[in-house]
Amino acid sequence: MQTATQPPRALSVSQLTAQLKDAVETRFRNIWVQGELSQVKVHPSGHVYLTLTDPEARLDAVIWRTTAATLRYKPDPGSLVLAMGRLAIYPPRGTYQMVIERLEPVGAGAQDAALQALKERLTAEGLFDAARKRPLPFLPRKVGVITSPSGAARRDIEAVIHRRSPQIPIVLYPAQVQGEGTAADVARGLAVLGRTPGVDVVIVGRGGGSAEDLAEFNVESLVRAIAACPVPVISAVGHETDTSLSDLVADLRAPTPSAAAEKAVPVRDDLLAHVDALAGRLDGAVLRGVSRWRERLGHLGKRLSRGLAFDARHRTIEALRSRLDRAAGRGVQSGHTRLNTLTQRLAAQHPRERISRARAALQLAAARLGVVGPLRTQAGRRDVALLAARLHALSPLGSLQRGYSLTRTPEGAVIQRASQVAVGDTLHTQLASGALTTTVTAVHPESTPATVGPPQES
């Protein structure tokens, strides 16, 4: 009797494919493949499908849309390239392809290898350490700029600085920023601006460019010149996606020259507003501090008055009180002096004082009157007598005593001329003793002088 043999356990196609996928994709990662590009096709989705060939084999490859957008080298059929990526198996078809993550023309790989070796060596020296990067000055006295004198980078930097802080001068070092000799020229600019008085920060700037345009900013001599610059350096030498060794060693990396200028200087108006705000806060803080100290002084004084004497606090209080007394002493002393002056002036104007002074003056005047009064009276009497004698001598009565008479009309008019009367007029004559009433019997004209005899004694 024959026994049937069990067939070996077989793998399904999907199982075999899954094992191959796991083995291949795990083993072949980050590999470099050199080949010639053919059948390059850009799909509407953005993915790039291509084939790498050599004389004996071909390899299908794909560049996904997100990776293709960042490639600086665009695939060109017929070019010999270096592709870096991983192998992937597509189970539905049982095919494999290379997923490319980096693509460069042949020759660039050696440059990248040398650049990577330089980067690793400088990293080992600590040139790229964050700990050695210096902070930018808050308000630089001057800003040094190394760029092309005719490039857009210069105009962008100057426009931003003049807008934000027009008071800060710009010191320009015109330099070559593209092509052979760029590294040496920029290094000289760093040395010059680093020794320029007042320059507190340096911007190395240029617009974007290709990898070849930026190659000079990966030169070791320039990297070391940036590290040795005595003032902080801002690097702005490529697009935002570009990174050079100069960017890594600089104290700050800016994506554009305009961004570098914004990082280098503050906004003056913001600073002035901030200063005003700080001044207001300082004034308020001082006033609040003085108020708190006064309250504390009062509380401590009350505690000391209740017998809680603490020597240290007592000395503090005395010191504060002394300072307060000195601060207010001049005003208090001036007030006391003025008050005393006003008090004296007020006392001098008091009615009692004025009456006392008037009484003393009256007594003095009375004493002087007692002495001078009799003398003045005697002199007055003598003067009156003299005047009376003189008046008597001039009086008509005096003339009558000497034998003259005074004749008047009945109306009382004094007769001085013969023409004033006529024959038959009645006249009244006043004598020294007595009076006469007479009637005119004759009138002698004035031209006829009357004979007048000497007076007769009776």
pLDDT tens, residue by residue, 105-161: 776 555 666 778 788 889 999 999 999 999 999 999 999 999 999 888 999 999 999
403: DSSP letter: T
C-beta contacts of 186-191 below 8 A and 24+ residues apart: 186/146, 186/216, 186/217, 186/222, 186/225, 187/221, 187/222, 187/225, 189/146, 190/146, 190/225, 190/226, 190/228, 190/229, 190/233, 191/225, 191/229
pLDDT of the residue at 454: 47
The pLDDT score that the predictor gives to residue 164 is 94
At 395 the three-state DSSP class reads coil
Give the pLDDT confidence score for residue 167 in this predicted structure.
Answer: 92
Q: Global pTM?
A: 0.44
DSSP code string of 14-38: HHHHHHHHHHHHHHS-SEEEEEEEE
Residue pLDDT tens, the chain, 458 long? 455 555 668 888 888 888 888 888 888 888 999 888 888 898 899 899 999 998 889 999 999 998 887 776 677 787 888 889 999 988 888 888 999 998 887 765 556 667 787 888 899 999 999 999 999 999 999 999 999 998 889 999 999 999 999 999 999 999 988 888 889 999 999 999 999 999 999 999 887 666 666 788 888 999 999 999 999 999 988 766 667 899 999 999 998 999 999 999 999 888 888 888 888 888 888 888 888 888 888 888 777 666 555 566 667 777 887 777 776 666 667 777 877 776 777 666 667 777 888 888 888 888 888 777 788 888 888 888 888 777 776 766 667 777 778 888 888 888 888 878 888 888 888 887 888 899 989 888 765 554 444 444 43
DSSP letters along 236-284, please? E-S-TT---HHHHHSSEE-SSHHHHHHHHS--HHHHHHHHHHHHHHHHH
Domain regions of the chain by residue span: 14-106, 113-266, 270-330
Q: Find the DSSP H helices in 84-126.
A: 108-125
Architecture field, domain 14-106: Beta Barrel (2.40)
Q: Report yes or no: 50 and 41 within 8 Å, Cβ to Cβ.
A: yes
H/E segment holding residue 58? strand 57-63
Q: Provide φ and ψ at 348, rounded to 5°.
A: -65, -25
Q: Are 144 and 203 in contact (CB under 8 A)?
A: yes
Q: Which residue has the tokens 């004996």?
A: 56
Whose CA is closest to 202, among 182, 188, 216, 218? 188
pLDDT of residue 197: 96
Cα–Cα dist 248/93, whole Å: 46
Amino acid (one-letter) located at 173: Y
pLDDT at position 349 is 67
Map residue 59 onto helix, strand or coil.
strand
- Look up the CATH architecture of domain 113-266: 3-Layer(aba) Sandwich (3.40)
> Is it true that 14-106 and 113-266 share their CATH fold?
no
Residue 173's pLDDT is: 95
Please tell me whether residue 453 adopts helix, strand or coil conformation. coil
Question: Residue 76, class by beta-carbon neighbours within 10 Å (0-12 exposed, 13-18 middle, 19+ buried)?
Answer: exposed
CA distance 53 to 34: 9
Query: What gap in Å lies between CA 285 and CA 30, rounded to an integer?
Result: 63
Both structure tokens of 333: 């002393």
User: What CA–CA distance (Å, rounded) separates 112 from 91?
Assistant: 35
What's the pLDDT score for residue 98? 94
d(CA 409, CA 2): 220
pLDDT at 456: 42
